[in-house]
Amino acid sequence: MDSSIEIKQLVRNNIRELVPYSSARDEYSGSASVFLDANENPYNTPLNRYPDPKQLELKKVIAQIKGQQVANLFLGNGSDEGIDLLFRVLCEPGRDNVIAIDPTYGMYSVCAKINNVDQKHVLLDKDFGLDPNRVLEAVDNRTKMIFLCSPNNPTSNSLEPEAMVRIIDGVNCMVVVDEAYIDFSREQGILSLVPEKKNLVVLQTLSKAWGLAGIRLGMVFAHQELIGYLSGVKYPYNINSLSLAEAMKSLRDTGARENWVHRILEERKKLIEQLKSLAFVKKVYPSDANFLLVQMENPGQVYSYLMEKGIIVRDRSSVPLCDGCLRITVGTETENRQLCNVLAAYDQTLEN
């Protein structure tokens, strides 16, 4: 149905009619020696100057790395800004709805509630697989977005690409695929489909594989028409100068990211085997992410024991399909050894 989709018709009326704020840096591009247009303090260079509201230089670097066009890229203050802006651009409060798989990343639901948008939940299979028929059956004429997280949080598995494409091709709404953990996956992801799928939005981030969670920089890849609406609604200078500079520096060294990903994958493999050796661990789910979902006896007790020893993990035992599960991030070799030593000591307390 991709060819019949008109993005403009999915956008809220007030957003279509919006005249975006035009900052001083929007109205001028080029080189100059004296800037007297933005009421900036002339001292404390370079932080006295507003950052580029369009982040063009950084976008060029990211677009080259990702094999995409600059026109198809939006940068946000973390992926969460991109998610929130999608709601604000596409969803009429109190009228429209979105669909998300369950369990999944909780921010989709939070943004839906903040924006007064109804959210429908489609349960994954018991092995966390995606059934496209269930998703398609949940769609109605008020559905504006479908959220698919792959690899999924907290289940750690990649969703089947064929199932996601079937959903994308079967609906007249936007399908948002969150690929925050794609660098750790055996799957390639579906970012390459953005140019041909008008209703596909792909979210990625510098927080995970690039080790830059502290600078809060997320990426939205989509059709340039939708990117235009997102850019018109965002705050003028949503990415600060320090974040832009740090991102540019890190992206010039792709070798560091590749090394980190390799080390995390090696540690993930070792951690899986060590966790499986513990008597109270029932199951370690296959992972395509930098974390593990681990089913165990008395997860609340294990969580508290770890916390007493200064180790913090995430209790996901109350999440649908994740009964008895803790989510454990893969750390450094030293951190993982410390975790396993503490869990082995806990295991011993159960035998005594």
Q: pLDDT at position 1, please?
A: 45
How far is the C-alpha of 57 from the C-alpha of 143, rounded, in Å?
36
Q: Where are the domains of the chain?
A: 2-252, 255-351
Bond into 46 cis (ω within 30): yes
Residue 84 CA to residue 335 CA, distance in Å, equals: 34
Per-residue pLDDT of the chain (352 residues; tens, 9 = 90+): 445 789 999 999 999 999 999 888 777 777 788 988 899 999 999 999 999 999 999 999 999 999 999 999 999 999 999 999 999 999 999 999 999 999 999 999 999 999 999 999 999 999 999 999 999 999 999 999 999 999 999 999 999 999 999 999 999 999 999 999 999 999 999 999 999 999 999 999 999 999 999 999 999 999 999 999 999 999 999 999 999 999 999 999 899 999 999 999 999 999 999 999 999 999 999 999 999 999 999 999 999 999 999 999 999 999 999 999 999 999 999 999 999 999 999 998 887 6
Q: Which of 3.10.270.10, 3.40.640.10, 3.40.30.10, 3.30.70.100 would CATH assign to domain 2-252?
A: 3.40.640.10
Predicted confidence at residue 276, as pLDDT, reads 97
For 2, the 3-state DSSP assignment is: helix
- Residue pair 344/271 in contact (Cβ under 8 Å)? The answer is no
Class of domain 255-351: alpha beta
What values do phi and psi take at 79, rounded to 5?
A: -65, -25
- Burial of residue 346 (CB within 10 Å: 0-12, 13-18, 19+) is middle
The strand order across the sheet containing 281-284 reads 281-284, 291-296, 325-329, 314-315
Nearest of 178, 183, 211, 17 to residue 86 by alpha carbon: 178
3-state SS assignment for residue 40: coil
- Measured over the CA atoms of residue 296, residue 297, residue 301 and residue 306, the dihedral's sign is negative
